[in-house]
Amino acid sequence: MFFFDSTYLLVLPALALALWAQWRVQSTYRRFAEVRAAAGMSGRDMARAIMVRNGITDVAVEETGGMLSDHYDPRAKTVRLSTDIYAGDSISSIAVAAHEVGHVLQHAQGYVPLGVRTAVAPVASLGSGLAFPLFFIGFLFRGGMSHFLMDLGIWFFSAAVLFQLVTLPVEFDASKRALAQLTESGSVAPEEVDGARKVLNAAALTYVAAAAMGALQLIRLVILRDSRR
C-alpha cells in the first residue's frame, strides 16, 4: 500500500532531526525567557533601537499572536513580534527581536538571498499546497495523465524545497547580524552573549531540519515516480 511503502524510511532521519530541533528551540527559548536582560529593554524597544542606530525609520514594529510567530514582512515593511517577544525583556526576547531586525537590515542593504526568497515565496506556497494532491492522483490512477501529474507535483514541490534551501543563508545571516548588533552596541552584557547566541543557534536548527525534510521528501517522490515507469 502506498501510504506504508518503504520509501518512508528515507524521511525518518529528517523527521527525528525536526523533532529534536523543535524541542531544542523551545527548551532554549524557555530557559533564557526566564533570564532578564541587563539592558532592561523589551523586544519591541530593542528592535526599534537597532533600526534607529542603523538609520532605518520607515519600518513598523507590531505585536502579533501566537508563540514564536515572529517575522519580518518586507512587503509591508513591518516587524511582527509575538506577545512574549514584543513585551518581554528577557535574553530570549531581545535575541529574537534582534534576529527579525536582521532581516530588516538585509532588506535595506539589498541582500540578494532575501530578495530571492521573497520572490520564490508565492510559488513555494502554491507548490506546497498542490504538490502532494497532484502527485497522489497521478500515482494512484493509471492512464495517460498519470506521469504528467506526478511530474507536475514534483515540480511544484521542488519550488517549496528551493524556498527552504534559500531560507538557510537568509536566516543564518540574520542571526549573525543580530548578534553583532547586540554585542557591538553593548545591548547585552558580556555574560549574556552566550545565552543570546544559544537562542539564535537553536532557532536556526528548525530551518536546517525543514530543509532536510523537504529535500528527502523530494527524493522520495522521484523514487516513487520512477517505480511506476
Q: Which residues are catalytic?
A: 100
Q: In what order do the strands lie in the sheet with 71-73?
A: 60-64, 78-82, 71-73
Among residues 57, 87, 88, 61, which one has the least CA distance to residue 72? 61
Cell 529574537, residue located: 96
- Rounded distance between C-alpha atoms, residue 110 and residue 112, angstroms: 6
DSSP state of 187: -
* Residue 60 near residue 51 (C-beta atoms within 8 A): no
